Structure 1
Amino acid sequence: MTAHQPERSHTPSILDSPAVIYLRLNWEKIAWIALALVAFILRVYDVGARAMSHDESLHTTYSYNLYNGAGFRHDPLMHGPLLFHLTALSYFIFGPSDFSARFPVALLGTGVAAMMWWARPWLGKLGAFLAAVMLTLSPSLLFHSRYIRHDLYAIFFALAVILLIFLYIQKGEKKLLVAMAAMLGLLYTTKEVAFIYVIILIGYLVLALLWRLLAGNWEAKGYKWPFLGLLIFGGLFLVYPMYEAIHAPVGQPVISNSLGMPVWPMAALGGGLIAAAFWMMFKGFGSDKIHGWRELDVTVWVITLSGPLFAAFFIKMFGGNPSSIDFNNPLARDTLIAVGVFAAMWMIFTALGAWWASSQGDLSAYLGGLGLYYGLMLLFFTTFFTNGGGVATGLVGALGYWLSQQEVARGGQPWFYYFMLIPLYEFIPMLLSGLATIGILVRIFRRQPLDASIPDDAAAPQSVRDLWLLYLVWWIALTWGAYTWAGEKMPWLTTHFAVPMAILGGWWLAWKLKAIAWRAVWKQGGLWVLLGAPIWLMVFYGVLKQRPFQGKSLEALSQTMAALIGAIALIGLGWFLIRKMRGLSWGLSGRLALLSLLGLLSLFWVRTSFLLTYVHYNYPIEPLVYAHGAPDIKIVLNDMREISRRTVGENALAFVYDNETTWPFEWYFRDFPNKKYVGAGITRQALKDAPVVLVGVENEGKAKPFLGNKYYRIEYRQIWWPKETYKQLVDGAPQPDGTVLKGLPLLWSWIKDPQARKVFWDIVLYRKYQQPIADWSPADHFVMFIRKDIAAQVWDLTTLPALAEEGVISTDPFEDKYIDHPAVQIVGGLGQLAAPRNMTAAEDGRIYVADTGNHRIIAFSPDGQMLTAWGSFGDQPGQFNEPWDVAVGPDGSVYVADTWNHRIQKFSPEGDFITMWGGFVSTDGQLGQMGVFWGPRAIAFT
């Protein structure tokens, strides 16, 4: 007989519990989940349809190399490494494709909008939600959330840092500072705009602390104003040398043009004055009173963590090159200066941070944050510790390289570039944030609390809300200033304007909406004003477009009748609205009319976003579509896949392509193992019997003689750019009177000309240009040559030969007389040269070769033995960026066309640097600017 076993009590598993209990859903959370879902769908829908742009293809290809086991070496030329690692992870999960390449940025773009959930304490529930809506629908953010660039990465982590800082100021939890340190480290692995975000943040935190200090009660009042004086002069003495370092050449200590002395002693003095100011602060204000200030806590954390990464400024001051650190040659001058400066700054800032944290009793938190901060940066800069050089390029070289690029000013855009782009795309966030800024300034003048909205249950204290709003105003103002001042201006940088403007604009709109008693408005007929005002404006616009009383023709009478009917409708609708407004105050009526107008403009704003992202995304009729791959890219790719499938099998086609078609095709050719890259060295042997040949139009003349009449020729668009007519308004260099604006008469002529005004509004409203898209310029073109017998196997479309008839190449007159001459002498060997562009011989028999792909010049003896080599990648004297030509002058000096540094360099026969001249300018075909270049390709002596 079996003994009875007592039953065990059953504890329900978490899997048995309803999920809704844990979600604790309410209508607010449901709205946020729905918005996040909408944002995600808008960003991933058909995200792989658009052809990759030039820069995108670089990012996708190097990410693919990492995914495919070829590793990755951080290069400041392509910004931070985080994008490449996350894209490689996306390839691993989804497989390599245009969709998977853009999926991480789409996810981060969704996160930017969703993060406004944590801004509810300072924006209010409605304000945060409206800000998230604008971040979701923003044209620049939506478009670039479907675009594999670094900017959304930087925005995501910058926003995370900012939110964590204000959450800490509100709550005081040390774990928030540790999380902030981790996010700050990741921010620096995205893009060098991280330094702009951090400078803006530090500047505001310091000013907020200064305001609190000066408004406080000092224990020793005699220290108050000396403290302020030391701080101001110390800041000036520190910032001025940094400004001089931006524009100074490397290789020698930075000398102040105005003072005629090295600037590093001034920077050291500035640091000393700031240290003395802080000593006076502790002594005069009282260290016990300062301890516990959360604003000071977070300021110390951000400054001491970020400080060492600004070492590039001080390395340049001492005459070093922050881009030329070589751990293989640790005793080299540049390496010694860079390592010494960075190590000294790291020890100073880390000791300062640890001292402060220890005095606050949270040393362990600081050390934990420090470990996360440097650990995450080193992890990605070194590609999981497989690239030791990433320590130098990441912690020092990144800022150093991009400081040097500000003089290059890629894109050659005028100072008013963002004043043109932002109103064209982000007019709703710009308008709302502008109104918010005016409202905040008025309340400051009246000494009223800045956030006058009705606080909800999620609201932070008034002081924190005011601190947040002032930061948004500061953020917007300095963003306009910094990016306008910076030399490099590009359309994707508009995203950095959109974020703070959308956040502040969302707060302002919620403030105004919550201030209106909507039930009373409804009862008093105020909704008629809200709905009728935009209708009245649209009728008014329609009447203005008419030209009545112009004659008795049917068309003239029709316009007259339309104008009269419109005028009657205007009067009637206006009378109706005025009657409804009598029951309301004029102030309320004005607010309703303003909200009504904003609603109408918002519809146009959403239309702008929709057309840019889903209709015009492939076409440069949108100014944000810059250096993009044309739709022809994917047409050609699909044709090549079809040729391969029908002739030799899936992706087995053996075809030839040159250096002009590398990008973005290098990404798309990854699955063709039989592709053959010939660079600029197009020869008969390289093209022999190739089924398909792709060459840029610049190389077409080289290929034609070798192809004979065996091929059809079809020309396609490769990369294209938007129109830049606005550049006619400025000169490339300041005029003698000190102004860069030369086009005021031209601008006024455009304004007066009705036809010019029509062209302008056609572009603004419809993106309609006078030049048809089929003949668009500026654009780079390429040519696809298809062997006729291959075309006959693949296409039964009779249109192909007809379309290509004009492109049929005549018989090569030299084909029957071709003789293969073997080389008498070969200079260089396997792995020694990379895409050499040109060579020349000196009178003594020396042979100089432009080793373009290796960014150097090599000198060989007459019998082909390597004598010397000089140069490396960079923009400093003696460095090159793809030199295309080398020549020997009458005196034996060596001249190099440093093509993509846009200059000419002169050297001794042994490679010693002598001098250089030139710089980047886009002349748009206009003569008159001497001594400047756009990619010089060759040198000649006359």
Structure 2
Amino acid sequence: LIYKQNNLYGISIIHAFLRVIKILCRKFNEIRSLQNISRETAFLIVLWTISLPLWSGFVSIFQIAGSNLVLASEIGPKIGSPTGGGLVIAGIVIGICFLVGSIIGLRWNWKVWLTCALLFYIPWILFHTTFFDNINGVGSGLWQSLGYWVVQQGESRGNQPSYYYLLIIMLYEFLPLSVSIAAVIYYFKKKDAFAKFLIFWSLATFLIYTIASEKMPWLLVHITLPMIVLSGKLLGDYLKNETISTYINLKVSSLMLLTLAFLFFVWRLAFFGIDGKSDNFWMLVLLIFGTVLVLFGFVFLLRGDFYKNSLKVICVTLILILFGLTIRSAFVATYKNGDTPIEMLVYTQTSPDIPALARHISTIELKSGSKPTVDVDATSGFQWPWAWYLRDIALAGYPQYGQHLPSSMMEQQVLIIHSQNKLAVQETVKDRYGEGSRFKHRWWFPEHTYRDLSLKKIVKSVFDRSSWVRSMDYFVYRDLNHNLSSEDAYVYFDDAEMRKFRSLELE
């Protein structure tokens, strides 16, 4: 009886337990020796061990406020850098991370790991040191890059709403976002550990950056990267038996064209406005007729065995459309609106007035034969980017204007004054410098257009066709219908001829 009670399908429970322990020990030894591991695990080993030293600055989150042990400075020119005893701690942590990563990587496959490490760290060192011109870049890259970000969490720089990343992902990274959502559905019941990891990576990264107090558009790359890898995994699995020749035939081409036609007719119907004119009415009839005709075309093509592959053809067509729109949005953001913050991807931008005014100032030397003297009001950090633009064309100073004006102010040939200090200098400079010309120093996207979103407003906009039009106008054409926000300045010249300068954006 005792034997039967401890017997499980003919195997004693004790024996079964020992077999499980034996299997687990064997698996543990395989993992510990890093042999016979999957390609996915090998990828994670390379990714983690090589990048481990770059995570060392994360230790600065344990910094105690008010302590003399500074792991990440919160003030001064080197924000995020360790000082004093913190330098010793930082060196030890970086050394341990390098050591642990190297031991694991070399034990796994020393040839492959060394090759990958060199391919990563050689360009990393070159770029972080500006080709060995700034050796301190190695230290700032290993610690300060992350330490700065940790310190900035207390500043809540940007002060963006919690849905900020979701908004700009839908505007710029809609392709990996759409495919990633499909991947969650596709792998939901599949036993694919790597796919589950990629889903976790994507969701965890999105959640962490959403919770983080600092939200900036350039951090979107970290959220998008796992989505791109997940998208590649899905497309590789879903289309692994497909070739280009599969899609070069009459039926597939017809189905692709029908998909495009269907999207076109639905788009036109969704934004079609009847204004009571007969030509608009007949255009509506024509659009409805075209939609019905396309649907009949779908029914005709999806007969027989072709039905099995039709979903893949439609998905490929949609992906190609999204890919084309992605290329277009990237081109527009880079080359058309590169210096104009009509793009949400641009947080703040130096106005085109700055280089235009710098060129205008440079003409003074051509007339007089000597570099002009320039005072730039340092209020609100206005010395940047003037320190760059004036480095070779003027003798520039950067005093702070306000209630107390610099004694050397009236000796300068050019004055660049923050708009908030115009009243403070107006009467003093009027006789010699005139009224001054206003220009945009820096400008940014009008954030009021999205900051006050709420669930109620979103639901209401779903049923408001005018909201559809405004959203699509911005998504497709970047038609904002709002003035850009800006911080302005005034330029004053002692030479009356030079006062002809006018802002490119305020004309």
TM-score tier by shorter-chain length is 0.7 to 0.9
Partners of 1:604 and 1:350 in 2: CA distance = 42
After superposition, the Cα gap between the structure-2 partners of 1:443 and 1:345, relative to the gap in structure 1 and judged at 3 Å, is: same
Q: By how many angstroms is 1:726 displaced? A: 2.0
Q: By how many angstroms is 1:788 displaced? A: 4.7
1:323 and 1:393 in contact (8 A); partners too:
no
Q: By how many angstroms is 1:384 displaced? A: 6.7
Name the amino acid aligned to 1:720. Answer: W
After superposition, the Cα gap between the structure-2 partners of 1:317 and 1:575, relative to the gap in structure 1 and judged at 3 Å, is: same
The equivalent residue for 1:778 is 485
Across the two proteins, how many residue pairs are aligned to each other? 466
The equivalent residue for 1:659 is 378
Residue 702 (structure 1) aligned with residue 431 (structure 2): no
After superposition, the Cα gap between the structure-2 partners of 1:220 and 1:703, relative to the gap in structure 1 and judged at 3 Å, is: farther
The equivalent residue for 2:64 is 316
Partners of 1:482 and 1:746 in 2: CA distance = 26
**Matched ranges for 1:171-190 at <5 A:** none
Name the amino acid aligned to 2:33. Answer: H
The equivalent residue for 2:451 is 727
Partners of 2:358 and 2:401 in 1: CA distance = 22
After superposition, the Cα gap between the structure-2 partners of 1:346 and 1:507, relative to the gap in structure 1 and judged at 3 Å, is: closer
CA deviation vs aligned residue, 1:685-741 (integer Å, no higher than 9, x gap): 423253321111012122212212342521111111112232223xxxxxxxxxxxx
Q: By how many angstroms is 1:470 displaced? A: 5.2
The equivalent residue for 1:426 is 173
Q: By how many angstroms is 1:405 displaced? A: 1.7
Partners of 2:473 and 2:58 in 1: CA distance = 46
Partners of 1:289 and 1:493 in 2: CA distance = 34
1:322 and 1:397 in contact (8 A); partners too:
no
After superposition, the Cα gap between the structure-2 partners of 1:707 and 1:574, relative to the gap in structure 1 and judged at 3 Å, is: same
Which of 484, 489, 494 matches 1:787? 494
CA deviation vs aligned residue, 1:874-912 (integer Å, no higher than 9, x gap): xxxxxxxxxxxxxxxxxxxxxxxxxxxxxxxxxxxxxxx
1:721 and 1:779 in contact (8 A); partners too:
yes
Residue 713 (structure 1) aligned with residue 436 (structure 2): yes
Q: By how many angstroms is 1:393 displaced? A: 6.4
CA deviation vs aligned residue, 1:803-861 (integer Å, no higher than 9, x gap): 99xxxxxxxxxxxxxxxxxxxxxxxxxxxxxxxxxxxxxxxxxxxxxxxxxxxxxxxxx
Q: By how many angstroms is 1:623 displaced? A: 0.7
Residue 490 (structure 1) aligned with residue 216 (structure 2): yes
Q: By how many angstroms is 1:534 displaced? A: 0.8
SS at match of 2:480: coil
After superposition, the Cα gap between the structure-2 partners of 1:745 and 1:314, relative to the gap in structure 1 and judged at 3 Å, is: closer
The equivalent residue for 1:174 is none
1:546 and 1:562 in contact (8 A); partners too:
no
1:524 and 1:583 in contact (8 A); partners too:
no
SS at match of 2:72: coil
CA deviation vs aligned residue, 1:401-439 (integer Å, no higher than 9, x gap): 432321221000111111110011111122123323432
Q: By how many angstroms is 1:316 displaced? A: 3.5
SS at match of 1:443: coil
After superposition, the Cα gap between the structure-2 partners of 1:436 and 1:748, relative to the gap in structure 1 and judged at 3 Å, is: closer
After superposition, the Cα gap between the structure-2 partners of 1:760 and 1:521, relative to the gap in structure 1 and judged at 3 Å, is: closer
The equivalent residue for 2:368 is 648
Residue 417 (structure 1) aligned with residue 186 (structure 2): no
Q: By how many angstroms is 1:676 displaced? A: 2.8
Q: By how many angstroms is 1:287 displaced? A: 4.6
Q: By how many angstroms is 1:781 displaced? A: 0.5
SS at match of 1:783: strand
Q: By how many angstroms is 1:782 displaced? A: 0.8
1:307 and 1:345 in contact (8 A); partners too:
no
Partners of 2:236 and 2:163 in 1: CA distance = 31
Name the amino acid aligned to 2:376. Answer: Y
CA deviation vs aligned residue, 1:313-347 (integer Å, no higher than 9, x gap): 4453995431359xxxxxxxx844x3675576578
The equivalent residue for 1:79 is none
After superposition, the Cα gap between the structure-2 partners of 1:511 and 1:527, relative to the gap in structure 1 and judged at 3 Å, is: farther
TM-score relative to the length of structure 2 = 0.75
More helix by share: 2
CA deviation vs aligned residue, 1:221-245 (integer Å, no higher than 9, x gap): 56999xxxxxxxxxxxxxxxxxxxx
The equivalent residue for 2:475 is 764
**Matched ranges for 1:240-259 at <5 A:** none
The equivalent residue for 1:872 is none
Residue 538 (structure 1) aligned with residue 259 (structure 2): no
SS at match of 2:440: strand
Partners of 1:728 and 1:617 in 2: CA distance = 27
1:669 and 1:675 in contact (8 A); partners too:
yes
Partners of 1:618 and 1:361 in 2: CA distance = 47
Partners of 2:184 and 2:168 in 1: CA distance = 20
Which of 331, 337, 348 matches 1:616? 337
CA deviation vs aligned residue, 1:665-688 (integer Å, no higher than 9, x gap): 221111134223322266374232
Q: By how many angstroms is 1:628 displaced? A: 0.2
Partners of 1:600 and 1:572 in 2: CA distance = 22
Q: By how many angstroms is 1:528 displaced? A: 0.8
2:375 and 2:399 in contact (8 A); partners too:
yes
Residue 408 (structure 1) aligned with residue 155 (structure 2): yes
Which of 290, 294, 301 matches 2:32? 290
Which of 354, 357, 360 matches 1:639? 360
Q: By how many angstroms is 1:300 displaced? A: 8.9
1:620 and 1:626 in contact (8 A); partners too:
yes
Q: 5+ residue gaps in structure 2?
A: 1-15, 75-82
**Matched ranges for 1:458-537 at <5 A:** 467=194, 472-509=198-235, 511-513=237-239, 515-516=241-242, 525-537=251-263
TM-score relative to the length of structure 1 = 0.43
Q: By how many angstroms is 1:585 displaced? A: 2.9
Residue 572 (structure 1) aligned with residue 320 (structure 2): no
1:714 and 1:785 in contact (8 A); partners too:
yes
